[in-house]
Amino acid sequence: MVREWRPDWPCPVAEIWGHWRRGAGDPTYRVDRGRHWRGIGTPLGPATLSVQPRNGEGVIAAEAWGSGAEWVLDQLPTMLGAADDPDGFVPRHPRLAQALEDHPHWRIGRGNLVWQALLPAVIEQKVTGQEAFAGFRRLVHFHGERAPGPGVALHLWVPPGPEVVRLIASWQWLKLHIDPARSRTLMRCAQVADALERTLAVPGDEADRRLRSIAGIGAWTSAEVRFRAHGDADAVSFGDYHIPNEIGHALLGHDLDDEALAELLEPYRPHRHRVQALLGMRRWRERHGPRLAPRTHLPAR
């Protein structure tokens, strides 16, 4: 299936979809000569989605394959930020104004898929990026499915759905290098996956409350899901290892804790995630010291 969409602003696909990509080796996301390929599990089944910006024409050309093809093409404008409303956002700091000037056409995309956002977010809880990306890759390769159509030739995958995750045995999680704390959270979420998808129809505060009612889902995971799936412009990733310090150094020149970050961002409601995302597109300080090492006490294969 094919669709051409002409947004009313220059739509930067790479910037908007950058937060869906889980590392350079993400098996569900490929970029080939400016063409973005994604393997997506939709309510109607798996889909391969290809998006190519035609910058000279102002057109986004999309193709899709699989039983979920019609769904992803219908959702394309929303996924690329058409429903995002930046009106009322006022940068109150020169560096934030600079970030907005550097990325004037960036928008917050609404993926409309809670499970697709939740699955990698839980795997990324309290571990290094290297460990999180590796765990997600293993899970997708062992329990996902090949993306339909040209996705096979591209080695593109669709992540496992909740019905598959519910059947993964405890010992298999360990072989995926995903510890019991995270695997138990995923199992609980898989049991109520349909209810989680219904949070797309409620306001951000209520969606946050429902997500966090599940043991193992806290402020950080809820925010990571809401800005990707719900397009929530106010979802701040409190509890992140880097974000408070990165924002603190960008705006104040020093590290922050979550309490100080909340106070700093309060004037930006309902656009607090917009601050986080815009500042996150550029490194505002040099990082020094050794990287955190991934844990080695779980079997790697």
Q: For strand 35-42 and strand 45-54, is the pairing parallel, antiparallel, or unpaired?
A: antiparallel
- Could you tell me if residue 83 is inside a domain? yes
- Could you tell me if residue 243 is inside a domain? no
- Could you tell me if residue 285 is inside a domain? no
- Could you tell me if residue 145 is inside a domain? yes
CATH number, domain containing residue 59: 1.10.340.30
Query: In the structure encoding, which two tokens stand for residue 84, read together?
Result: 């995002």
Enter the pTM of the model.
0.92
Q: Which domain range does residue 34 map to?
A: 2-102+109-230
Helical axes 114-123 vs 180-191, angle rounded to 10°: 170
Name the phi and psi angles at 193, rounded to 5. Answer: -60, -40
- Could you tell me if residue 213 is inside a domain? yes
* Torsion-angle region of 254 (φ positive above 0: left; ψ -120 to 50: alpha; else: beta): beta
Q: Please count the CA atoms within 13 angstroms of the CA of 232 that sit on its side-chain side.
A: 26
Q: What is the CA radius of gyration of the chain?
A: 19
What does DSSP assign to residue 154? T
Q: For strand 29-32 and strand 35-42, is the pairing parallel, antiparallel, or unpaired?
A: antiparallel
Per-residue HEC secondary structure of 124-137 comes to CCCCCHHHHHHHHH
Would you write out the chain's pLDDT as a tens digit for each of its 301 residues? 999 999 999 999 999 999 999 998 999 999 999 999 999 999 999 999 999 998 778 899 999 999 999 999 999 999 999 999 999 999 999 999 999 999 999 999 999 999 999 999 999 998 998 999 999 999 999 999 999 999 999 999 999 999 999 999 999 999 999 999 999 999 999 999 999 999 999 999 999 999 999 999 999 999 999 999 999 999 999 999 899 999 999 999 999 999 999 999 999 999 999 999 999 998 777 665 555 555 555 555 4
- Could you tell me if residue 156 is inside a domain? yes
Residue type at position 66: G
Count of the separate structural domains present in the chain: 1
- Could you tell me if residue 117 is inside a domain? yes
- Could you tell me if residue 281 is inside a domain? no
